[in-house]
A and B are shown apart, each in its own frame.
Chain A
Amino acid sequence: MRKSVIFILILAVVLTSSMVAFAENGEEDSIVIGMGSDGNALDPRYVTTASGMYVSSQIFNGLLKLDKNLEYQPDLAEFEMPSDSEYVFHLKEGVYFHDGTELTAEDVKYTYESMLDPDKSSPKAGNYLNIIGAEEFNEGETDSVEGIEIIDEYTISFQLEAPHAPFLVNMNTGIVPKHLAENNKDDFEANPVGTGPFMFESREIDEKTVLVANDDYFEGRPNIDSVEYRIIPESAAAVIELETGVLDVLMSVSEDDLPIIEDDDSINLASIAGTNYNYIGFNVTNKPVDNKYLRKAIAYSLDKDSIAEHFHGTRTHVPLPGSHPWVEEFSDSTAINQYEYDMDRAQEMLAEGDYDGETVTIKTSEGRQELAQIMQQMMSSVGIDVEIELLEWGTFYDDVVEGDAEIYLLGWYGIIDPDAYWFFHSDMTPPQGGSNRMYYSNEKADELLIQGREEVDEEERKAIYHDLYEVLTEDLPMIFLYSEEDSYAYRDHLEGFEAAPYPVTILKQLKNVRIVD
């Protein structure tokens, strides 16, 4: 008996010794932002995940930034275009990195060159290959990129092989200080230094990242003193933390959690049309979906409005082909076939395409399983025999890329330009690189895709994309389903909080947020 008493005593000591006093610091204005997963990196040249970008873009500034209307605004630089294929950036003077050194054109040149450096394997290299000499440099044939030229300490020019309308989309990548980043990529990742409104303080991967206000920020010090990004994978738990006040902001709100958030008076919801769309992809080289009429029959058989409403209630938007609310001005809805739900038309198409009851397989991963089931039901009601193959994400994605799929379900996020070269051009068919996972090839479309990205005049571009969408809706390599709103939840003591579509999100506005009692 005495032994067991001793055992319990030891246990008690072990337990209490691990107790740490829990003190809260009430003096600082700090906010805590909840995210579902941690970013893969903070270095802007390597970050590929949305959650990484949220944090990284507080530490770094790009040459340009997008505002909440997705318009380009100067960030570190103003730009001018001496010709259709040259961009000259004039850096703001007196902008300092967090270590006190001044930003110069050298840092800009270094940032872009290092992304193209084959030894550094930055995932962003592909965005800049149309700069003159970039491809040769990327293949290790030259020592520097010919088309990136320092004019003086605060001026740098980028010359392109040909005019390229979407070029500016990628000019918001954060600029890194050459003197710190060039030595050791890993040290820089562990201690990122930028020019941004917040400075890096600490990071525990998968737990939290803490940033503190940059007192000398060139646009003025942020209103809050620090910001902590906390990783909470389970969304229901994150909502509880928002309700208890541990979190001030939740970066993404799922449809299931919406009622709870709407019921809580102390939590506000900010929603805005997103830059995404969900789609049904066809591998047009595989039987039986190589039959255009079968694809059209499928498009007519789906009640897209009901599908969108089922998943996202009112927070959704059925987009025009190839677009979402932010770029749909590029296509004229009245002139393009929307494939409105029509069972008779679907039957007609099946008859026209001599569909003989072959089984069509939908491949999907867990996230879109329900969508596949709804599709199966709708498609079989017009007589199409549908089978669903549910796969783990990595396997599913591999199959789709390698062309081993008939119908697959995927989505695009962060599309801010109508350029669709990566998705539809025949040169972009895997494994050559690119995302034409429909294995789609049409000369007319290829031509329009090239014209669309080389035309700098906006009105001309609209006409080109209109023609392109006509070709695409006739061939129908993919069916555009719906676009979701981006929603953020935040506690009502935050003032100045504004929603912006991904990838802008609340990034640049965070500095203006203040806490009111």
Chain B
Amino acid sequence: MSKYIIRRILLMIPILLGVSLIVFSLMHLTPGDPVQIMLGDFAQPAQIEVMRDNLGLNDPIHIQYFNFVRNSLQGNFGRSIHYNEPVINLIKARVGFTINLSLAGFIVSYLIAFPAGIISAIKRNTFIDDFSMVFALIGISMPNFWLGMMLMLVFALRFRVLPATGVGTWRHLVLPAITVGTAGAALATRLIRSSMLEVINKDYIRTARAKGLMERTVTFKHALKNAILPVLTIIGLRLGFILSGSVITEIVFARPGLGRLMVDSIFRRDYLVVQASVLLVAVTVLIANLIIDLVYGFIDPQIRYD
């Protein structure tokens, strides 16, 4: 087991190097000069040169990449070209808001998805099933920004019970969480339903019923436990994107999150911010995947780590 974990962690190194190379190349291949964008139209050529020098943008490209990797390993991600603020500070200030929203959205998703998925599987082809599948379809099709604006119109403008934008209290989290959660819920509901349907007709379920177990025990202990593995994979994948998954929602609700920072920085060609954030997201995805792989083993003892 510990051997397996160590191997997985070692495997992360080449993956992260690959990610860093790709993001570095993409940013540097994209047309658009950050210094020109930053200094604007009235900048003097000499000034542009000085600033490029200060930022190390005049070094040969492989030296720049090498410096980026070396500094990143030392935890030094440099300064944002646009804000002239250490990248690490910009990211630190935002990570909390993004994780809050992702987790809250995640909870909303599964608070809806588990009951809806299980019930529609058990009550297959009834009105409840149809209803939740239509709900799922709407949830998947509805653009996040539209749902966000509608929630804002109703709860912030019409009834004035919740704030429309900003961060700071749990009340600011409610509408964005519902927005993020709904799309996730739709997918998860369908997945849980089909996963449940697959196991619900298996022999061991019939056996469980035949030996006179209560329906509730059959559903939760025998069916759900076996149906949950594929769901877990999806949960893991979503957890991996906890830092980057809700850009649109962050923009609509004016949340200063990491997703918004990344998108803004791409447009500004703020290389260092983009590179550091992408690396951070990559690390999260890798760790989330590892955790999910480990959790498999606890849920299904047949899975072994060799």
Contact = CB atoms under 8 A, between A and B. Distances in A.
Contact of A240 (B47, B164, B260): B164
A435 B40 CA distance: 10
Contacts of A234: 145, 251-252, 254
A431 B36 CA distance: 11
Contacts of A186: 84-85
Contacts of A125: 43-44, 47
Given A123-B43, A126-B44, A433-B44, A401 B251 contact: no
Contacts of A123: 38-40, 42-43, 47
Interface residues of B, number: 60
Contacts of A206: 94, 256, 260-261, 264
A48 B83 CA distance: 11
A118 B48 CA distance: 10
A5 interface: no
B77 interface: no
A422 B37 CA distance: 17
Contact of B93 (A4, A189, A205): A205
Interface in B46-91: 46-48, 50-51, 54, 82-85, 90
Contacts of A41: 83-84
A272 interface: no
Contacts of A204: 93, 256
B165 interface: yes
Contacts of B156: 240-241, 244
B123 interface: no
Contact of B260 (A118, A129, A233, A246): A233
B149 interface: yes
Nearest to B45: A433
A393 B41 CA distance: 15
Interface stretch (B1-9, B14-22, B27-35, B132-140): B27-35
Contact of A237 (B94, B254, B264): B254
Contact of B46 (A11, A139, A238): A139
B83 A205 contact: yes
B37 A1 contact: no
Given A234-B252, A236-B149, A237-B254, A48 B260 contact: no
Nearest to A437: B41
Interface in A189-243: 189, 204-208, 230-234, 236-238, 240-241, 243
B83 A40 contact: yes
Contacts of B254: 207, 230-234, 237-238
Interface stretch (A16-24, A90-98, A474-482): A16-24
A1 B256 contact: no
A341 interface: no
Contact of A244 (B160, B171, B261, B268): B160
A129 B44 contact: yes
A22 B44 contact: no
Contacts of A129: 44
Interface residues of A, number: 58
Contacts of B93: 204-205
Contact of A20 (B33, B163, B169): B169
Contacts of A459: none
Given A1-B216, A20-B168, A394-B269, A118 B152 contact: no
B170 A15 contact: yes
Nearest to B260: A206
Given A121-B54, A205-B93, A397-B32, A126 B167 contact: no
B220 interface: yes
A406 B201 CA distance: 67
A22 B168 CA distance: 9
B167 A422 contact: no
A236 B173 CA distance: 19
A517 interface: no
B166 interface: yes
A237 B165 contact: yes
A154 interface: no
B197 interface: no
B253 interface: yes
Nearest to B33: A398
B164 A241 contact: yes
A183 interface: no
Contacts of A189: 84-85
A176 B145 CA distance: 42
A233 B166 CA distance: 11
Interface in A365-418: 392-395, 397-399, 401
**B50, B54, B268 interface centre (most CB from chain A within 10 Å):** B50
A119 interface: yes
B38 A40 contact: yes
Contact of A241 (B32, B165, B216): B165
A118 B157 contact: no
B171 A118 contact: no
Contacts of B48: 433
A232 B256 CA distance: 9
Contacts of A139: 46
B223 to A, nearest CB: 14
B153 interface: yes
Given A237-B149, A246-B164, 11 more contacts: A1-B220, A118-B50, A126-B43, A186-B84, A206-B261, A240-B152, A246-B165, A394-B37, A398-B36, A432-B45, A433-B43
Interface of B: 30-33, 36-48, 50-51, 54, 82-85, 90, 93-94, 100, 104, 107, 145, 149, 152-153, 156-157, 160, 163-171, 173, 216, 220, 251-254, 256, 260-261, 264, 267-269
25 contacts: A4-B220, A19-B169, A37-B264, A123-B42, A126-B43, A126-B47, A129-B44, A205-B83, A206-B260, A207-B166, A208-B166, A231-B254, A232-B254, A233-B260, A234-B145, A237-B149, A238-B254, A240-B164, A241-B156, A246-B165, A392-B267, A394-B30, A394-B31, A398-B33, A422-B41
Interface of A: 1, 4, 11, 15, 18-20, 22, 37, 40-41, 46, 48, 118-119, 121, 123-127, 129, 138-139, 186, 189, 204-208, 230-234, 236-238, 240-241, 243-244, 246, 392-395, 397-399, 401, 422, 431-435
Minimum-distance CB pairs A-B, first 8: A394-B32, A206-B256, A232-B254, A207-B256, A121-B51, A19-B170, A435-B41, A123-B39
